[in-house]
Amino acid sequence: MNLLLLIPVLAYVSWRDGLNLHWQQLLYAALFAMGFGFVEGAVVVYLRAAIGLLPGYQGTLNDVVRLSSQVYQQTHSVSELPPSLLVVEVIREAATILMLATVALLAAPSRRERWAVFLWSFAIWDSMYYAALWATVRWPQSLHDLDVLFLIPVPWMSAVWFPLLVNLLTLAAVTLAMSWKPVGKPHSATAHNAAAD
């Protein structure tokens, strides 16, 4: 699990001569990822209600926050899921990765830029997922709360601060690579624009 910290570092090293992307491509990918992250957060809220782990969901969101703040633990949700919903959750996670990968395939021309767009989108999607849960049901209450990050291939568990740190490092790696201009060589996106003029 801790090896996930190497992904943004190794990606940045492979991008140190810049990325052939435009900020507009990253903006559109970010907008998709933000919307998709909120949808994922809403799905988790619905799933919690469906399996009886979200007291007060028949009322307002304030009722949910007030009644579930002392009861709910995200890590319990996996053990509480009926086998039928667990299968659906695993398929939903695979579909999530497929959707993020498809956006990257559509947004960028080459493998390294696609990888950058995928990581960028994933980091924003995942961060927005936590923001959506906090905005709606006030979970996580702390960055130290445990979460089930993924179920594929086995359940991955971590404190919330860890994926948020990896997300931040990923966004920084892409941003730095987009800004990188080696000495004596124009940034590849700038060179592309100059050639188009």
Tens digit of each residue's pLDDT (9 = 90 or more) over 42-51: 998 888 888 7
The pLDDT assigned to 19 comes to: 86
The pLDDT assigned to 46 comes to: 85
In a domain, 197, yes or no: no
In a domain, 192, yes or no: no
The pLDDT assigned to 197 comes to: 46
The pLDDT assigned to 105 comes to: 95
In a domain, 90, yes or no: yes
The pLDDT assigned to 11 comes to: 86
The pLDDT assigned to 124 comes to: 98
In a domain, 122, yes or no: yes
Domain count, the chain: 1
In a domain, 54, yes or no: yes
In a domain, 36, yes or no: yes
In a domain, 3, yes or no: no
- Cis ω for the linkage preceding 153 (within 30 of 0): yes
DSSP E strands in 22-104: the ranges are: none
Domain that holds residue 160: 22-179
Which residue stretches of the chain have pLDDT < 70?
1, 55-56, 63, 66-79, 180-197
In a domain, 61, yes or no: yes
DSSP E strands in the chain: the ranges are: 146-150, 156-159
Across the strands, what pairs with 146? Answer: 159
